[in-house]
A and B are shown apart, each in its own frame.
Chain A
Amino acid sequence: MWIYIRGVSVLLIPIFLTTNIQCQITGQLDVDSSWQKFVFLSQIPSMNDMYTMSSNMIIDKVRIDSQGYFSIKTTFLPKKDGLYRIHLSKVGSPPASLIIGGQDENHLFIMAHRHSQFNIKSLGRTATLFDSLEITNSPDNDKLLMINKITELEENREITGTPLKRDLISKAVNEKLRTIADTSENPLVSLYAIYQSSFEANYTAHREFYEQYLQKWENEKSLYFDIFRKQIDLRNPAHSLHYVWIALLFFGIGILTTLYIFPTIKRKHPIHDLSIQERKIFKLLQSGKSNKEISEECNIGISTVKSHVSNIYTKLNIKSRKEAMDINHK
């Protein structure tokens, strides 16, 4: 029995160890002395937060050795693919520092999950840290690199010239990114391409594309897509039309209320404004009694009756006994 257990253990332990060791992102970067020797891994909760930096986004910190090697374990990551950012900080800068553009650009976006295992390798000394890379064992991350390269074309100073030429390049780049988004099998890669294609500026011109795109990925359940759907919905003129219809509905209700309900309330209102004594006198007025008769019936002086009648006229906005008799106080 013991021999059997030992045999199984001997077989299982290496498998367990190998599985855990393999779930990691490894890499080698050409880091000079101006950089801190740490790699930070940040979780990007939505594509809108790609250029957001705060300490709570940083989920791991690993050391870079003297040869530029580093490794980040992925076993604590969610099972599903997510977007992450790898970045380094300059010496003297805090861990939460983001540099976009220029020679000190300090970050790279990657996709990873719990079982990710791939390698990032710098292809020699380049102008920036992540300028020239090779990612092995992850076709999806390779695609992200390709998307980055295409996006960079728009800002490449060597090929951009006049504003008109720049517009044409920009259109071509966005078209290419939309094609990648359309043909990519991985939803996150596809959405990454969409966000890089400055979809907010191009939505109106390519609305049909975005509507079909949403239909294609309608079953994709992820926060990235939920946020994208909301953004598209807000830009959709049909969405604005809903608000117009709702506003019109309330406008109609308002008109009906003004025409039928308020007048009813108003008709009742003046009678309700009369005091008990005034109502009693008003009834006597309607029955055609004179001031003297009212005075005798209510057991009050004529001057008091006159004062009550004057108040009734004012409150009911009438000028004569005849008008008082015409009012239907029911």
Chain B
Amino acid sequence: MTATTDIATFEAAKRRPGERRRSRIILTLLLSLFLIYSFVPLVYLVLSATKTNGDLFTTFGFGFGTEFNLWQNLSDLLARDNGIFMRWMFNSVLYSTVAGLGAAIFATAAGYAFAKFKFVGRNLLFALVLGAVMIPQTALVVPIFLLLALSGLSDNPLGVILPSMISPIGVYLMCVYIEQGVDDELLDAARIDGAGEFVIFRAIVLRLVAPGMVTVALLSFVGTWNNYFLPLIVLRSQEYQPITVGLATWYQLAQQGGGGGEVLFSIIITGALVGIIPVIVVFLLLQRFWQGGLTAGAVK
């Protein structure tokens, strides 16, 4: 069915079994080296989150501390600055979820318009959307901040959520996806049956392209969760900030030393561990979407 099986038989026909097994072992070992590299920082993160602040400095980084302090670290983390950490987590979940859903719906609607309709200015608009991928973030973020201030929306979560709903890549992916995955005859048949355009979109298109939409939602969710620059500039109040901005502020405070900075090290590392769990869970749950089609449209 897939190319893999064919290439596997292709390989099998070319080589003797013993030779094949040896190359398999060598390649597995080679890839294992890089797997270790990928996991070293994550293992360090988990180990460090279980240590007291003292052990963090005195015990070996890739070993356990003298005591298992994870629960104490977690409770310190949640108590720090009147429980601001949970607020940051909540903000990140809220912003990323709303941005992911919004981006998927808007990109699908726009992609559908580009894929299945002829209208004035279609090509120009499509070129503009694709060109937007090249614009440096700084060119947008500082003026966004100033424009929000002018319109009385400064320090407002909408200043992070609304821009995060724009996914030019998502529009492109959905356009390709709909061109290939939605049959023109099906749409015309529905029109002859008297279905309105919005009904056709909701009842036919959305159902057929759901996997593509999940991919776009996933990309925007992760993009928003990981975003640092936009919320750093737009949001001033701590209680509106997402996890990235909050943790970075603590980190800079700790590195400057003083003011209880030292105590922060174990709290920050525990916060970093908690802060990556939601994204990893989302990736694990939606494996088949990113493994198959993260950019399937982009490469055809």
Q: Do A and B come from one complex?
A: no
- B residues neighboring A (CB under 8 Å): none
Task: Give residues in A with beta carbon < 8 Å to B.
Answer: none
